[in-house]
Amino acid sequence: MDKIIILDFGSQTTQLIGRRVREMGTFCEILPYNKYPEDDSDVIGVILSGSPFSVHDVDAFRPDLSRFIGRLPVLGICYGAQYISHINGGTVEKAQTREYGRAMLCQIATDNVLFEGINAPSQVWMSHGDTITSLPEGYRVIASTENVRYAAYACDDLRLWAVQFHPEVVHSLDGTRLLENFVVRICGSHQDWNADKFVETTIDEIRHQVGSDRVILGLSGGVDSSVAAVLLHRAIGDQLTCIFVDHGMLRKNEFCDVMRDYKSLGLNVVGVDASERFFADLKGVSDPEQKRKIIGRDFVEVFNEEARKIKDARWLAQGTIYPDRIESLNITGKVIKSHHNVGGLPEEMHLKLCEPLRWLFKDEVRRVGKELGIPNHLISRHPFPGPGLAVRILGDITRDKVRVLQDADDIFIRALKDYTTEDGKSLYSQTWQAGAVLLSTVKTVGVMGDERTYEHPVALRAVTSIDAMTADWAHLPYDFLARVSNDIINNVRGVNRVCYDISSKPPSTIEWE
């Protein structure tokens, strides 16, 4: 299969490059800047990402590019463009006028395939403090802005192209066309990466990998584990046993609803209500990280206890997806962010690992889910934190606080699904993630009827995003927010005030804890 290699120099938008390439029906792999594969027989092109570094920084990444430059088509983006120029005799200097944000390409070479179908003026997104002030010998400029002469350049003899802007972000209005020109027209991709082919090949791979062994899978009710379960069931049938642990902090009625959905899909699911254990271990704990650690520890212990009851199990399957793996390693290959699906298996389980979704981005997981015939309400579900509502309750956890938040959250989520905008879509489908947060460490004064109240506020959070790396607060209609606020205060005992979170990521995170 055709493959594009994306070398990651630490840019926050490297995953976006990968998603854009996948959207073109082309398989790609994101690797640390210094981990170019020994065997590149299936590689048709290489993309170098941006970076937080300057090429002049002491700690800047300086890999040897000689293995592929001149042999394969190469596209450098931002730092990638500056690094290629720098190591080949060009000049990179601090820009007199730094360019961050929108800029306009005012001059574009009409004879270069990278800009085929793109005409000036064309809006792009810049993010750099350095700029190229001279090109290496044999290189030529192919696009400029008012302030950046070498906004894009090429070396025809080496089949090399580079841009000092970010075509992968939506603010570069012709960025998708530029990337398609590189991937399809220059690299010659056959665009044969799609959901139905993935299902077919992955089912064959699972059968070959697992054979007649038994497999266990931990379900969460989320999109990734659900799609992984149905894919495995399609491949090996009754050899798969799924375990769904209820830690008591799921959404309202979620345990029963999800169990019913899984049964309707024909999955063999063991449901475990371990809420008493989790609440006991969380008693009096307010620190967010400590709450996460306790829930993670208890989950593993409960799962292991159930897994040991399944005789002859040889494999543990997980819904690990590609961003999980990328985010768990930095570009030097060291772990910087632990993830619930990454990091190996507890040694006492003595199981081998099966990760059928390990190459997929979230949107691809959803497309595979549709291909498998999974109901839309399962595959369109918003992301939900592994510790559940425990990290949406500020302060310690009690059953009563969870009950209050479950009721408020349920009103909010149902309202998002019921409210239809002029384009016929629900507000739920137009947001990436939404939920309620209980500020249980705060009480506010209110008046209900003729009585004074002193109860907790609830904050509502809804964001729009492409991949959760960045997110903007969803601009929900005022009439919708007013109705939801009224419904929560009138129907949820313990709440007398509703706020709406209008902070974006960055600087704020999507979750409060």
Question: Mean of the pLDDT values across residues 297-322?
Answer: 89
**Mean pLDDT, residues 430-444 taken together:** 94
- Tens of pLDDT, residue by residue over 439-483, are 999 999 887 776 788 899 999 999 998 767 678 999 999 999 999
Q: What is the pLDDT of residue 220?
A: 84
Cis amide prior to 506 (ω within 30 degrees): yes
Question: Each residue of 209-247: pLDDT tens digit?
Answer: 999 999 999 888 889 999 999 999 999 999 999 999 999
Distance from C-alpha of 288 to C-alpha of 513, rounded to nearest angstrom: 6
Question: Rounded to an integer, what distance in angstroms lies between the CA atom of residue 330 and that of residue 31?
Answer: 10
Strand partners, 7: 31, 48
Instruction: Report whether pLDDT(336) > 60.
Output: no
Band of pLDDT at residue 373, cut at 50, 70 and 90:
very high
Asked if residues 504 and 472 have their Cβ atoms less than 8 Å apart, the reply is: yes
Look at residue 342 and tell me whether its pLDDT is greater than 50: no
Active site residues: 78, 166, 168
> Above 50 in pLDDT, residue 382?
yes
Q: What is the pLDDT of residues 131-180, one digit of tens each?
A: 899 999 999 999 999 889 999 999 999 999 999 999 998 889 999 999 99
% of the chain with per-residue pLDDT over 90 = 68
Q: What mean pLDDT do residues 299-325 have?
A: 87
Q: 424: which DSSP letter?
A: S
**Distance, CA of 413 to CA of 422 (rounded, Å):** 19
Residue 454 has a pLDDT of 87
> Residue 507 — pLDDT band, cuts 50, 70, 90?
confident
What percent of the chain stands above pLDDT 70?
A: 93
Mean pLDDT of the chain: 90
Least confident of 303-317, 329-343, 467-481: 329-343
Instruction: Please indicate whether residue 333 or residue 83 has the higher confidence score (pLDDT).
Output: 83
At residue 339, does pLDDT exceed 50? no
The pLDDT score that the predictor gives to residue 1 is: 78
Token digits of residue 387: 């510790």
**CB proximity list for 504: less than 8 A, separation 6 or greater:** 463, 470, 471, 472, 473
In the 8-state DSSP scheme, what is residue 34? T
- pLDDT bucket at 354, cuts 50 / 70 / 90: very high
Mean pLDDT in residue range 106-128: 91
Q: How confident is the model at residue 335 (pLDDT cuts 50, 70, 90)?
A: very low
- Look up residue 83 and give its amino acid: Y
Mean pLDDT score, 113-135:
90
Question: What is the C-alpha separation between 387 and 383, in angstroms, rounded?
Answer: 12
Q: Which of 75, 80, 74, 46 is nearest to 61 (CA)?
A: 80
Which tops the pLDDT comparison, 101 or 40?
40
pLDDT in tens, 401-419: 999 999 999 999 999 999 9
Q: Which residue has the tokens 């941006």?
A: 50
pLDDT: which is higher, 417 or 333: 417
Range with the poorest average pLDDT among 29-43, 393-407, 443-457, 478-492: 443-457
Render pLDDT for 60-75 as a digit per residue (tens, 0 to 9).
Answer: 899 999 999 999 999 9
β-strand pairing of 43-48 with 27-32: unpaired
Average pLDDT of span 256-283: 94
SS3 of 97-125: the string is EEEEEEEEEEEECCCCHHHCCCCCCEEEE
Please tell me the pTM assigned to this model: 0.78
pLDDT at 188 over 60: yes
Check pLDDT > 50 for residue 340: no
Number of residues written out for the chain: 513
Q: Where are the beta strands (DSSP E) in 391-485?
A: 433-438, 444-448, 451-464, 472-473
Which tens digits make up the pLDDT trace of 191-211? 998 888 899 999 999 999 999
Cα–Cα distances in Å, from 5 out to 42, 49, 179, 264, 465?
Answer: 10, 11, 13, 40, 25
Q: 433-438 and 444-448: which strand pairing?
A: unpaired
Looking at 121-125, 258-262, 347-351, which range is the least confident one?
Answer: 347-351
Q: Tell me the pLDDT band of 328, cut-offs 50, 70 and 90.
A: low
